[in-house]
Structure 1
Amino acid sequence: MNACTRRRLLAAVGLSIAIAGCSTGSEPDARELATPESVPDDDWSTPEWRPGEGTPAEDDVVATTVVAGLEVPWDLAFADGDAFVTERDGGVRRFDASALAEDAALGPDGGETVLPGDALPNRSAPGEGGTLGVAVHPDYPDPAAVFVYYTVDENGIGNRLVRYDLEADDLEPVLEGIPGASIHNGGRIAFGPEGALWVLTGDADDPALAQDPGSRAGAVLRIAPDGDPHPRNPDWGADGDRRTYTLGHRNPQGIDFTPQGRPVIAEHGPSARDEVSVLRPGGNYGWDIVRGGPDDSEYGSYDAYDDAAPPVVNTGPGTTMAPSGIAFADDAVGFWENRLLVAGLASSALHVVTLSPDAGDDGDDGDGAANGGDESGVRYDAPWLDDRFTATVNTLFDGAFGRLRHVEPGPDGSLYLLTSNRDGRASGAFPREGDDRIIRLEAANS
């Protein structure tokens, strides 16, 4: 896979650098990036959607705590009037979505436990592990099925994906053999285009696994609801896992899809260096060989590896989002239309990422600015980044709610935040009485 970008070519020409194969940085080391043997056609086209105008601001929304007293909530999914919440040290609760849209200060008992933690076989919660992602079958409530990703301890720590039928009270495995550890378990799951189920896995504290196409670690997997590989996944060779869509990831914990249907993920970096990526099928996102630009002396540079797929955002070694769950706000969330929302843990903030088609391609309005969005915030447009988009990041609610684990659009048009202040990593004023919470953000003018 050749990740040569237009920005990199222009930068190289502008600096009169002799290039070969688009490598403009230092020479790669002896390790090579894993690549697929074949990749499905990439149907990329310049998107017709554009981000909303203006600068996103805290005053755009009103924040209300709708559920208090949760035990380290990790994921939230809405379907057909129901809201399913996982608690890392427990199981799955179900709330009435209309109650979340209308009420305030519900307790955990405002919902019902539909799948207790002790009903998940061999469930374990070491460090960052536990009951993590939840997704609801696209045809819910027929079938009335939810999918849960959780950590197991069965002759060693790993992770497992299961399907739970609420009506039959039946639990069946969907995908096992996902490497795990006390850290870097990934864990977010989501249904995407064509009813495919997407699964994010971490490197399980063994970075080399992220470059092993057969390991299921440090990867984005695309599968059918029964666990079989998606038929149009890349071919990673005889020893590769056909469930793998992309690899080379460190600890991805957020996934959603643009209106174009493109998967977008966010992942934790080493000592900051957090990333947001618009995925390319068969892409290798570099970990643990590549993790930055030519000025980062600790890791290889994306512009030195033709086979590395670059992100749209890399925060560099000096800044961290500590990104977890993400959501692409479509036109149902009109006040931040078509922007990517990223929940931040160590940053204790909500990061609003405006993705605009790159100015050098078709968005140039004559002054170097990309159409859509605004010029405030932190702009990411270095030559070694993914040049399909220019990203601008605005940071909101800095320290207001503590650590944020996830953000999810609700059927009422509001956004819902999950805090993670009782996970042992909060500091300062957190945890507060009432933590952990579900916080509703609704448009201030609604």
Structure 2
Amino acid sequence: MPRPRPALSFAILLAAATAAPAIAAQAPITGGRPFADKPFKVEEVARFDSPWAMTFLPGGHMLVTEKAGRLLLLSPDGARRTAVEGVPAVDSSGQGALGEVVAHPDFATNGLVYFSYSAPGSPNGIVLARGKLVGDLGGARLEGVTTLYRAHPLKSGGHYAGRIAFSPDGHLFFSMGERQKFTPAQEPDGVLGKVVRLTMDGQPAPGNPLAAKGFDPAVWSYGHRNPLGLAFDLEGRLWDAEMGPKGGDEVNLILPGRNYGWPIVSNGDHYDGKPIPDHVTRPEFEAPKVSWNPSISPSSLLVYSGKLFPQWRGKALVGALSGEMLILVDLGEEGAKEEARYAMGQRIRAVDQGPDGAVYVLEDKAGGRLLRLMPAG
């Protein structure tokens, strides 16, 4: 189902930027936190070959992407599926994938599906595309597939990101990694290591905060490493979950025009052990609200809005790859903080919310399961 659409406008986001100090920066979590008892039972729905993302459609049908380039339409119970035709060719080598998939907020009337994928070529980039889903479990396809936006400059390497979030004022936010090249995250004329704000047709949105300062006109925020989670909370604030280097994984409050510091600062270090100055040494950069050291490898971010888990409402669930867990993060006004972590025993690639308020989790790699989390007891 389309993700929640909180009351939000450009003016509200600008106001949030000036009010940002109300949410204090969180000191790094150093690990060792015990796993909490699970308030849910786990039901297997289906299995896939290296799934990457999912979205729910009216009536409970699901779309699931697989890394190699397959888009699958599933029945609500997961028992039936069909491969959706019309998906562009994907370079799935390394960290490449058919990645994010999100139904348009008005999917019920327009049938539009937005998705991201790493395009073939060397060098290459992440692409934002859109198509109309037609057909059903007897045979489905994307029609009128259109490229809306391409990451630039083209590079070789990992960290594509490619998450999508819709705002209710008719805009689309798109995250892009810095391709493990460090400096692009700070370069004003490209969009790697950035979050961009676009029209629904993929054009830079009018009034973006950095256009008058010489940046690419689409840029909303910069200084990101690999933002693999992107979601609005119930108060209309935009958050990301972002992979750090060796340590320093982050949850950030994404504010217009802000610089998040990568690669100049990080709460982690380089993989060769070379230290990176911590965020506290450079207060001009926006610091994470929660960070983890050692790494948990955040893959996704869901802000829960349902009724089945009232204790989770308005809080974030972060999927973790190397951490093999779900992490509950309180996004409260007095400071975001980790509230609980739930052991899942497998790398978690994606987390989403079903139309009934159940939480759905995709495991990573071959044989990755789609799991439905329902209240225990």
How does the TM-score come out when normalised to structure 1? 0.71
Match in the other structure for 1:431: none
Instruction: Give the aligned partner of residue 77 of structure 1.
Output: 55
Aligned to 1:27: none
- Whole-angstrom CA distance in 1 between matches of 2:113 and 2:198: 15
1:245/1:281 contact within 8 Å kept:
yes
Render the CA deviation track for 1:414-438: whole Å, top value 9, x for unaligned.
000000033xxxxxxxxxxxx2110
Whether 1:248 and 2:223 are equivalent positions in the alignment is yes
Q: Show CA shifts across 1:196-240 (max 9, x none).
A: 211111001211000012211011111111011222321244642
User: Considering only CA atoms, is the larger Rg found in Structure 1 or Structure 2?
Assistant: 1
| Letter aligned with residue 144 of structure 2 | D
Residues 173 and 133 (structure 1), Cα distance of their counterparts in 2 relative to 1, 3 Å cut: same
Sort the Cα spacing of 1:397 and 1:155 in 2 relative to 1 into closer, same or farther, 3 A.
closer
Superposed, which structure 2 residues align to 1:357-368 within 5 Å?
357-358=333-334
Question: In the TM superposition, what whole-angstrom CA distance separates every residue of 1:246-281 from its partner, at most 9, and x where no partner exists?
Answer: 110111100111111111100111112100011111
The structure with more strand, counted as a fraction of residues: 2
SS at match of 1:147: strand
Q: Which amino acid aligns with 1:440?
A: R
Residue 303 of structure 1, CA deviation = 2.8
CA distance in 1, matches of 2:288, 2:151: 28
1:412 and 2:356 are equivalent in the alignment: yes
Pick the aligned partner of 1:171 from 141, 145, 162.
145
Q: What is the one-letter code of the residue matched to 1:420?
A: D
Alignment of 1:1-20 (within 5 A): none
1:112 aligns with 82
Given residue 77 of structure 1, which amino acid in structure 2 is its aligned partner? T
Gaps of 5+ in 1: 1-38, 47-54, 101-105, 359-388, 423-434
Q: Secondary structure at the match of 1:357?
A: coil
Match of 2:39 among 60, 71, 74: 60
CA, structure 1 residues 322+206, in 2 after alignment: closer, same or farther (shift >3 Å)? Answer: same
Distance 1:312 1:134 in 2: 27
Deviations 1:36-67 (CA, angstroms, capped at 9, x unpaired):
xxx97334669xxxxxxxx9954311100101
Deviation track 1:275-329 (CA, whole Å, cap 9, x = no partner) reads: 0011111111100001129xx981123233243011101213xx11100111011
Distance 2:57 2:189 in 1: 33
After TM superposition, give the deviation of residue 114 of structure 1 in Å. Answer: 1.6
Q: Is residue 441 of structure 1 aligned with residue 370 of structure 2?
A: no
Q: Aligned runs of 1:332-351 on 2, under 5 Å?
A: 332=307, 333-351=309-327
For structure 2, the 5+ residue unaligned runs are 1-11, 21-33, 135-141
Are 1:218 and 2:193 an aligned pair?
A: yes
Task: Report SS of the residue matched to 1:41.
Answer: helix
Residue 157 (structure 1) aligned with residue 131 (structure 2) = no
Q: Would you say the 8 A contact 1:220–1:244 is kept in 2? A: yes
Is 1:200 the equivalent of 2:175? yes
What percent of counterpart residues are identical? 28
**Structure 2 residue aligned with 1:185:** 160
Aligned partners of 1:75 and 1:406 also within 8 Å: yes
Please tell me the root mean square deviation across aligned C-alpha atoms, in Å: 2.5
The reply on whether 1:397 has 2:361 as its aligned counterpart is no
Deviation at 1:127, TM superposition (A): 0.4
Indicate conservation of the 8 Å contact 2:329/2:337, yes or no.
yes
Q: d(CA) in 1 for partners of 2:248 and 2:279?
A: 13
Q: TM-score, normalised by structure 2?
A: 0.83
Residues 1:356 and 2:302 are matched in the alignment = no
